[in-house]
Amino acid sequence: MLVQDECTVETEFPNRWHIALQEDGNLPKQPTLEEYNDLEDERDAYLITMIVFIIAFVCAGGFAAFFFRKK
């Protein structure tokens, strides 16, 4: 994980980045292929969920507009 350093002097490299160490002081481990695939699956599931919600809101708006115009 990248963490931006807090600088006391504005001119002293204000945008320095470093790799944050884990709590035990070691560098973070590279994700395995299985962990990476899990992250991809989570992203895909999130994308599908967002698409379903957008379609549901559009349909609800369409039905509401239809019923209000019908009156």
Overall size of the chain counted in residues: 71
Number of separate domains in the chain: 1
pTM comes to 0.49
- Is residue 21 within 8 A of residue 3, CB to CB? The reply is no
Q: What domain range is 51 assigned to? A: 2-70
Q: What is the pLDDT of residues 18-50, one digit of tens each?
A: 556 666 666 666 767 777 777 788 888 999 999
